[in-house]
Amino acid sequence: MPLPRRGREPRRAGSRTAGTSFPRATVRSPKRADCGAPLSSHAQHLTRRRHSSEQVPPGPEPQADFRSEKWLQECAGGDTKNSRQAPRAGMGSKHRICGQEEVVIPRASDNDSSVDLQLSDLEDIEKGPSSLELTDSDTSDIPGVLQESLTDSFRTLTYQGPLSEVITKRLIRSIQEFFDSDVKGELEKLTFLRSLSSLSRTLPYDESTESFIHSHIAYIVHILHLLVQEEPLHSLFSPVRQEVFVTIADLSYQDVHLLFGSEDRIDLFNLIIRSIITLPSVKTLTQLQEIMPSVPYKSECLYRQTFQAFSEMLQSLVVKDPHLENLDIIFKYLGPWLQSVKDHERERATTCMTQVLKCLSRHLSLKLPLRFQRLGHLVALMALLCGDPLKEVAEEAAEGTHHLLRITLRLKYVTHDKKNQESLRKAMKKCRELLELYSIKQFYSCPFKIAQVFEVFLNSNELCQFVMTTLDALKSLKHPCTQQLAGELLLTLVKNAESRFEKVPEIMGVICARLSIVNQPSVRQQIINTVSLFVSRPKYTDIVLSHLLCHPVPYDRHLAELWRTLEVELPSTTWILWRLLRKLQKCHSVPTQDKMTYVAVAATDALYEVFVGNKLRAATFRLFPQLLMTLLIQIHHSIGLTMSDVAIPRGLCTEKEMSSEVTPLRFAIQATKTLLLRTLCWREFNIMEKNKGWTLLEEKDYHLQGVSLLANALLEGNHLLAHKVMYLLVPLLNRGNDKHKLTSAGFFVELLQSPVARRLPNIYSFARLKDWLHHENNLYRVLGLRGLCYLLRHQEMREDVKSLLPCILDSLCETDERIVLLAMQILLHLLRAMDFTTLAAMMRTLFSLFGDVRPDVHRFSMILFGASIKSVKYTDKKGIENQVLDSLVPLLLYSQDENDAVAEESRRVLTICAQFLKWKLPQEVYCKDPWYSKPSEVGAICRFFGKKCKGKVNILAQTLIYFKNAKLPIRRAAALFVGLLSKFADYDELRIKGTDWIEDDLRDLLHDPEPSVRIIASQALFRVQEAAAEPEPRRTVCRLRMLMGCLPT
């Protein structure tokens, strides 16, 4: 006796062989019980016509108006003999009655009406499971969300009757024989599967059946795994797959789940999905049929029946799924196929998912806790599929999304916080407004609007899921339209969800990774706009910036494009640029470390890219003072560093070895240059270029000079910006590390030249400079003195500077040339304000600097000395006369200095001294030729000074001191001067003291390394000896002549 068919569509002969005599329980509609016609299953009705070998019977179900006309027509035609039945999951155990008694199964019909969730009576809802259901009165207002009517909500089923105990035992024995058999042909497989399916019907009333199945369930799963595994993946010539699906469905209706609960069951489920989804397309199967005509089954018909059975199997898993645990697993393993690049695989997965959602929405009875945690992923995938290039996929996804919205409404109602009813009420209101704004057809034909509607119900974690899934769709290179849709969905969701996102760093990571594979300019801009939305929201600004700064520098072209093309609303531009700037400033606030922080380099490069893009131009102008100073400070920190001196985070590596030209200093310089150009500081940029200002900035010893050059250029070309920088620097001078303070101080000091500096409180200008004069770092002392020089230009501040005279005078003794020169400049301005004691002390110090090895110090000491002489009052002249006399020989000798500036200044100051002494110098003094080339003129000079200084100052002893001078011209001039001066020396003095002390020094000079010095020293020694040996009469005659010269004529 052949097995009766289970209410399926008619099969080809041989599809079920007569190899067994075991009867099978069948389900018949009461209306067709007399005819004995088999019923089509509920899944058969749910499946589209293109997945069925027979025509689907027309029913009272009105089609949703977002589907195409052709699609509606296809779904409307078919065999009118087939009726529809509810899934067996609708039956409770108490409804499964033996015999011909009718079993009533409550079921929602296909007639739809609008639903909404009203919260006005929320407080009165009971806490029982039944109270969690949405009633028609609770859900009635949201347009486009269809609700099952109760008109056709009940179906009746009748069983033929329970199987006898004998038949049950025979079924068990047959199954056991299959377990033990080694030969498993197609006939044996089908017999086993149908026996197991028939036996499952006895579970509600037969304990022996229940015991047998539950004790062998692991082996049954193993057998089913082998049966599916043995089926070829690239062809379909056997109904074994179909019978496996039917058997699993029948057991699922009896609460025996073979696909969930353990690892081997999950493996079976995954294998089943892969075995049906990866089958070739129907066209390919038909072609295989033509190649192999001997196959007893028609491939197209068998495929549609198999797919129908698979769809019913999936629905059987969710019919009774109050916690949505099964839905979670189904989506986990079916989800990847929804994104398949193969059209037929994607279409099958979409159809299955749609049928699962439809079945679930009609039999939804939720209970806490809910275990479906992938709502965001599912919504995103369905939305993407609604825009699929394949029309059939888009239509299926549209219907699935329609049912998913109904499920989401109920799910959120069940899980919402009862204490915060207002949030759900607002969400429902927003959803209603959006659905009223768009018709159903318009809503589902524009998938990005799905994001607007679902967004109101998604929590932060689900929003992140939506974004991640959408970003994954950007990898779809085969379908550019999918990339376009993903960009629209992403931008729409982020724009509407505002600040409800979590895991923003992970989102940014995926976005940056996807940029490199998106080639469509419009999609790239949508992605960049999404980043712009995130970064413009204060909650996420620092998070986004921190992530973007954790990429290798220099940025690749994709990240560079992102930085350059940020589209931010004007009010947010300053905030974003300020936060990026703060990232860099914080690196300057910590003490100087062995290695520079990577964020400092990355933020500098990011600022450069932002300046190049010029999208934040208004903010750049507004923050120019902060940007300029921060970049100058970064330059100071970067001097001499390479990328090996940067603390690069672990795991951050570049694809290729970084060039040696890539240095932190290069990033800082190029950012500073771009800043000047973007803020229209053309004049300042030109000054820096012409005066090699950028080179100065890059040098450790000349960095402050470069800073001063730029500050002066800015003060000259754009005094308004300069003043803004000055006011900014007032608080910055005491912040940050040493390099931060030093660069700020260098720029600030130059700005003190501005008249606006007079407005600064004394504590911020003069008092700060005074403190720097005592700083242990000479650079601060230099800056302090330079600042005092500038303050002297403001008349009202001269008295303050004058109070620092003692400290400034002490600076003349410093070894740092810059300190000495600046001190001299200040003293030059304060000469008229000095008292005589201070002036005399300063002149003594200046005199000690004559001959200083530092040419500028030497020259400026003579300049200040000469100016001091001029500033002496008439009444005080006698007090410095000796000081002036003592300076004559040094000035005279240094007029022969190899440095023309020093020589010229010596002659000029010598003239001032002569004027002070009321002398008239001989013209030979102003001769610029070397003395050794014109000894006769030197003789005239010696005669003049020997005569004028006689009895006032021992110029011969003074000259001997310069025999050991380091400069060759000075030693040579001193030797020549001593030799010629000996002829005009006081004979009595020579007789008393002798000439040995002179001769000894000249003999030492005979060993000088320079031959010309040795020759002149030898000649001088001869002249001294000759002068000493000259007889007394000559001296008498000379004295007589002098006496006669003094007599009146």
Query: Does position 147 have pLDDT exceeding 50, yes or no?
Result: no
Mean pLDDT within 663-681: 95
Dihedral pair phi/psi, residue 102, rounded to 5°: -70, 145
Which of 687 and 927 is assigned the larger pLDDT?
687
Q: Which strand ranges, in their side-by-side order, compose the sheet holding 102-106?
A: 27-28, 154-159, 102-106
Most confident range, picked from 172-186, 871-885, 1021-1035: 871-885
Instruction: Report pLDDT for 124.
Output: 38
Instruction: Report pLDDT for 79.
Output: 38
Mean pLDDT within 691-701: 94
Mean pLDDT within 310-318: 94
54-108 pLDDT, tens digit per residue, is 333 334 443 343 444 333 334 333 333 333 333 443 333 333 323 333 322 223 3
Closest CA to 330 of 278, 257, 402: 257
Q: Poorest-confidence range of 35-49, 367-381, 488-502, 753-767?
A: 35-49
Which of 414 and 639 is assigned the larger pLDDT?
639
Query: Does position 846 have pLDDT exceeding 80, yes or no?
Result: yes
Q: Poorest-confidence range of 23-37, 212-226, 393-407?
A: 23-37
Instruction: Report pLDDT for 766.
Output: 92
Query: Does position 167 have pLDDT exceeding 80, yes or no?
Result: yes
Instruction: Report pLDDT for 236.
Output: 84
Query: Does position 542 have pLDDT exceeding 50, yes or no?
Result: yes
Instruction: Report pLDDT for 284.
Output: 86
Query: Does position 513 have pLDDT exceeding 60, yes or no?
Result: yes
H-run or E-run covering 240? helix 240-253
Band (pLDDT 50/70/90 cuts) for residue 136 is very low
% the chain with pLDDT above 70:
79
H-run or E-run covering 156? strand 154-159
The 3-class SS string of 88-153 reads: HHHCCHHHCCCCCCEEEEECCCCCEEEECCCCCCHHHCCCCHHHHCCCCCCCCCEEEEEEECCCCC
Band (pLDDT 50/70/90 cuts) for residue 796 is confident
Band (pLDDT 50/70/90 cuts) for residue 1045 is low
Mean pLDDT within 401-427: 81
Q: What is the DSSP letter of 849?
A: T
Mean pLDDT within 854-864: 94
Band (pLDDT 50/70/90 cuts) for residue 929 is confident
Instruction: Report pLDDT for 984.
Output: 77
Instruction: Report pLDDT for 169.
Output: 86
Instruction: Report pLDDT for 453.
Output: 83
Taking the CA atoms of 796, 800, 803 and 808 in sequence, report the sign of the dihedral they define.
Answer: negative
Q: Which residues of 198-208 are buried (b: 16+ CB within 10 A; e: fewer)?
A: bbbbbbbebee
Residue 390, amino acid: L
Mean pLDDT within 724-747: 90
Most confident range, picked from 28-42, 84-98, 994-1008: 994-1008
Band (pLDDT 50/70/90 cuts) for residue 875 is confident
Cα–Cα distance, 1012 to 1026 (Å, whole number)? 21
Contact (Cβ atoms closer than 8 angstroms) between residue 447 and residue 386? yes
Instruction: Report pLDDT for 162.
Output: 73
336-357 pLDDT, tens digit per residue, is 999 998 999 999 999 999 999 9
Contact (Cβ atoms closer than 8 angstroms) between residue 1024 and residue 995? yes
Query: Does position 190 have pLDDT exceeding 60, yes or no?
Result: yes
Query: Does position 810 have pLDDT exceeding 80, yes or no?
Result: yes
Instruction: Report pLDDT for 1030.
Output: 65
Band (pLDDT 50/70/90 cuts) for residue 438 is low
Mean pLDDT within 847-876: 92
Cα–Cα distance, 908 to 234 (Å, whole number)? 108
Q: Which two tokens stand for residue 170?
A: 């025979």
Residue 104, amino acid: V
Farthest CA pair distance, the chain: 176
Cα–Cα distance, 72 to 65 (Å, whole number)? 9
Query: Does position 505 have pLDDT exceeding 70, yes or no?
Result: yes
Most confident range, picked from 129-133, 744-748, 793-797: 744-748
Most confident range, picked from 91-95, 601-605, 756-760, 878-882: 601-605
Mean pLDDT within 608-622: 94
Band (pLDDT 50/70/90 cuts) for residue 991 is low
Instruction: Report pLDDT for 686.
Output: 96
Band (pLDDT 50/70/90 cuts) for residue 650 is confident
Which of 477 and 212 is assigned the larger pLDDT?
212
Band (pLDDT 50/70/90 cuts) for residue 203 is confident
Dihedral pair phi/psi, residue 580, rounded to 5°: -65, -40
Cα–Cα distance, 799 to 138 (Å, whole number)? 87
Band (pLDDT 50/70/90 cuts) for residue 112 is very low
Q: What is the DSSP letter of 333?
A: H
Average pLDDT score, the chain: 80
Distance of CA 350 to the CA centre of its chain: 37
H-run or E-run covering 978? helix 968-981
Closest CA to 343 of 276, 281, 272: 281
Contact (Cβ atoms closer than 8 angstroms) between residue 824 and residue 860? yes
Give the contacts of 433 (CB within 8 A, at least 6 positions apart).
Answer: none
Cα–Cα distance, 1016 to 1000 (Å, whole number)? 15
Band (pLDDT 50/70/90 cuts) for residue 741 is very high
% the chain with pLDDT above 90:
44
Instruction: Report pLDDT for 270.
Output: 94
What DSSP string describes 752-788?
A: TTSGGGGGS-GGGTHHHHHHHTT-SSHHHHHHHHHHH
Beta-carbon count within 10 A of 741 CB = 18
**Position of tokens 């009118």?**
80
Instruction: Report pLDDT for 232.
Output: 87
